């Protein structure tokens, strides 16, 4: 009965989270009812839970893969049918392409005065022939597109035109500089909707320390509870002796520290570039890992690709550097067990380090001769938290869409190339999941929930310097070291 209750609670929270995610991210782009899309996504957990309740055994692998494939196909078909019906057949403007701004604007009309014929001369005067020689101006529903010939560096052109636009039009427009057809730079003037929102003159209060502390405290409680279970404390013993909860603190404090440092890396870098952003907020849950992680939200545009790169890479690198010493210490205090023996953590097999090049090398470096080809690792709770920190780093470094890795490749190679890289990364991860099945949920998550199109920086033309390109390649190399299994030749050499 207790296992039934646990499965039902887990299913309820998973269902609520999935429905909320669909309502927030998918309902705007498809007419398919959210409840129907939600039902398609819930096919696998419902199937697995039903099997476990009826037969009391682990779900067979064919049923796992079959339910995931059926769920994904049905979701994709319904989503695409609904998305195609969103387009207005009476729309006379051309289909948006790479020359139009990839930013979301409200559909309803806003009291922004368009550029009148008498003002076009003022607009043209903002572009000098020695900076950006303008050829023509196009008026679109979402932006004014200025096409011309760049005659100086991207940085200099953007700064000069921005100053001229502000002198002539004040803050009526947000100026975006990005590459259009044939990679020719274009300027876009997007109406500044924020200026006309209710409460004009009152800036939104982004930093809410009370809420941040409340969520942090709740997450400390839930992760401590799960940490005690990971440490081997039975739930019945906790209810009779609450002091046993203290055994969960090493896991809780380690995981919160790693996630907090990750988000503070984003937060502090964003503040350095004067990007308005919220404080880091943790997401507590009373099961699984004790938390769904933490997040910040940026409420102003990223000024350029340099800032986009720095803000994006700061989080994963900071989180990885925080995880590394904790993982080494945790491995040193872990126990080696026969590879067939089961762990208490999540009722899965003991960690086989050869599933990751990085984890295998760190495990061998820490445990030495204790680790051999027939040995797995029963992780210390601190090592569990650090291992999760490494996994979070890898997931965030995936070069897809709006993940940190997607921002990084966007900053390095530009928006169009980043989308191609995102397609390729999805495919490669899906292929890898047939070798290591634990990556299949990742692949499905990236395909169903992460958009390939990334938001442009205000100056999306000026490229990065060589130093940032180098660190970007190092981040991609780190991702490969985490997700790829240890080659058999190296495994035999290290006796893993």
Task: Say what the pLDDT of residue 343 is.
Answer: 42
Question: Among 205-219, 224-238, 374-388, which range has the highest average pLDDT?
Answer: 374-388
Task: Say what the pLDDT of residue 148 is.
Answer: 93
- Greater model confidence, 107 or 21: 21
Task: Say what the pLDDT of residue 59 is.
Answer: 64
Task: Say what the pLDDT of residue 344 is.
Answer: 42
Residues 391, 327: Cα–Cα separation, whole Å: 12
Task: Say what the pLDDT of residue 146 is.
Answer: 92
Domain regions of the chain by residue span: 2-84, 117-196, 209-494
Percent of the chain past pLDDT 90, that is, above it, reads 43
> Has residue 110 got a pLDDT over 60?
no
- Greater model confidence, 233 or 413: 413
Tens-digit pLDDT profile for residues 248-279? 999 999 999 999 999 999 999 999 999 999 99
- Greater model confidence, 211 or 9: 211
Q: Return the structure tokens found at 466.
A: 């060589």
Residue 481: closest CA among 405, 394, 409, 379: 394
Task: Say what the pLDDT of residue 106 is.
Answer: 40
Tens-digit pLDDT profile for residues 58-106? 667 677 667 777 877 788 788 777 765 544 444 433 333 333 334 444 4
Q: What are the b/e assignments for 70-82, b being 16+ CB within 10 Å?
A: ebbebbeebbeeb
> Has residue 392 got a pLDDT over 90?
yes
Q: How many CA atoms lie within 13 A of 382 on its CB side?
A: 15
Containing H/E element for 337?
Answer: strand 335-338
DSSP code per residue over 400-417 = STTSHHHHHHHHHH-HHH
Task: Say what the pLDDT of residue 187 is.
Answer: 95
Average pLDDT over residues 174-178: 93
Task: Say what the pLDDT of residue 5 is.
Answer: 56
Residues 261, 255: Cα–Cα separation, whole Å: 10
Q: Considering the domain 117-196 in this protein, what is its CATH number?
A: 3.30.1360
> Has residue 40 got a pLDDT over 60?
yes
Alpha helices by DSSP H, 235-350: 235-240, 249-272, 305-332
> Has residue 205 got a pLDDT over 70?
no
Facing residues of 173 across strands? Answer: 191
> Has residue 133 got a pLDDT over 80?
yes
Give the burial class of 180: count Cβ atoms within 10 A of its Cβ; 0-12 exposed, 13-18 middle, 19 or more buried: middle
Task: Say what the pLDDT of residue 458 is.
Answer: 93
Task: Say what the pLDDT of residue 221 is.
Answer: 92
Tens-digit pLDDT profile for residues 451-489? 888 888 999 999 999 999 999 999 999 999 999 999 999
**Which pLDDT band, with edges at 50, 70 and 90, does 320 fall under?**
very high
Task: Say what the pLDDT of residue 62 is.
Answer: 73
Average pLDDT over residues 311-320: 96
Q: Return the structure tokens found at 478.
A: 């780190």
Task: Say what the pLDDT of residue 240 is.
Answer: 80
Q: How many residues does the chain have?
A: 496
Average pLDDT over residues 357-380: 90
**Which pLDDT band, with edges at 50, 70 and 90, does 118 fall under?**
confident
Task: Say what the pLDDT of residue 446 is.
Answer: 86
Average pLDDT over residues 125-137: 92
Average pLDDT over residues 168-190: 89
Task: Say what the pLDDT of residue 11 is.
Answer: 65
Average pLDDT over residues 371-385: 89
**Predicted structure pTM score:** 0.77
Percent of the chain past pLDDT 70, that is, above it, reads 83
Q: Return the structure tokens found at 182.
A: 């044939």
Residues 5, 320: Cα–Cα separation, whole Å: 36
Residues 481, 72: Cα–Cα separation, whole Å: 28
Task: Say what the pLDDT of residue 112 is.
Answer: 46
Give, in degrees to the nearest 5, the angle at Cα 389 between 471 and 255.
135
Average pLDDT over residues 223-252: 86
**Which pLDDT band, with edges at 50, 70 and 90, does 55 fall under?**
confident
């Amino acid at each position: 009965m207790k296992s039934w209750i646990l499965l039902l609670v887990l299913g309820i929270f998973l269902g609520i989270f999935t429905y909320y995610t669909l309502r927030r991210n998918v309902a705007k782009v498809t007419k398919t009812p959210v409840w129907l899309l939600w039902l398609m996504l819930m096919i696998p957990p419902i199937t697995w839970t039903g099997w476990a309740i009826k037969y009391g055994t682990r779900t067979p692998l064919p049923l796992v893969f079959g339910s995931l494939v059926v769920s994904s196909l049905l979701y994709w078909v319904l989503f695409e049918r609904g998305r195609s019906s969103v387009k207005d057949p009476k729309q006379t403007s051309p289909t948006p392409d790479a020359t139009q701004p990839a930013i979301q604007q409200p559909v309803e009309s806003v009291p922004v005065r368009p550029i009148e014929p008498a003002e076009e001369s003022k607009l043209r005067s903002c572009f000098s022939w020695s900076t950006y020689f303008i050829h023509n101006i196009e008026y679109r529903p979402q932006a004014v597109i200025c096409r011309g010939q760049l005659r100086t560096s991207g940085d200099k052109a953007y700064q000069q035109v921005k100053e001229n636009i502000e002198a002539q039009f004040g803050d009526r427009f947000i100026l975006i500089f990005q590459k259009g057809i044939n990679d020719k730079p274009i300027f876009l003037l997007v109406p500044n909707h924020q200026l006309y929102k209710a409460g004009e003159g009152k800036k939104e209060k982004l930093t809410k320390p009370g809420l941040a502390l409340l969520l942090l405290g709740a997450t400390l409680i839930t992760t401590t509870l799960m940490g005690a279970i990971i440490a081997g404390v039975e739930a019945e013993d906790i209810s009779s002796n609450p002091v046993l909860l203290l055994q969960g603190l090493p896991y809780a404090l380690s995981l919160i520290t790693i996630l907090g440092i990750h988000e503070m890396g984003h937060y502090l870098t964003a503040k350095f570039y004067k990007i308005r952003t919220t404080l880091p907020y943790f997401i507590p849950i009373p099961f699984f890992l004790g938390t769904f992680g933490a997040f910040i939200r940026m409420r102003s545009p990223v000024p350029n690709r340099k800032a986009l790169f720095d803000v994006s890479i700061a989080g994963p690198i900071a989180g990885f550097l925080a995880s590394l010493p904790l993982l080494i210490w945790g491995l040193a205090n872990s126990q080696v067990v026969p590879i067939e023996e089961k762990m208490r953590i999540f009722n899965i097999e003991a960690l086989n380090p050869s599933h990751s090049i990085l984890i295998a090398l760190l495990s061998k470096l820490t445990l030495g001769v204790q680790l051999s080809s027939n040995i797995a690792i029963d992780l210390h709770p601190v090592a569990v938290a650090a291992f999760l920190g490494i996994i979070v780093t890898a997931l965030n470094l995936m070069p897809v869409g709006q993940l940190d890795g997607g921002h990084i490749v966007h900053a390095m190679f530009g928006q169009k190339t980043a989308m191609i890289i995102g397609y390729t990364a999805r495919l490669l991860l899906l292929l890898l999941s047939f070798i290591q099945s634990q990556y299949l949920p990742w692949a499905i998550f990236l395909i169903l929930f992460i958009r390939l199109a990334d938001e442009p920086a205000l100056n999306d033309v000026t490229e990065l310097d060589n130093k940032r390109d180098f660190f970007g390649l190092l981040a991609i190399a780190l991702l490969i070291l985490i997700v790829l299994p240890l080659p058999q030749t190296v495994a035999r050499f290290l006796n893993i």
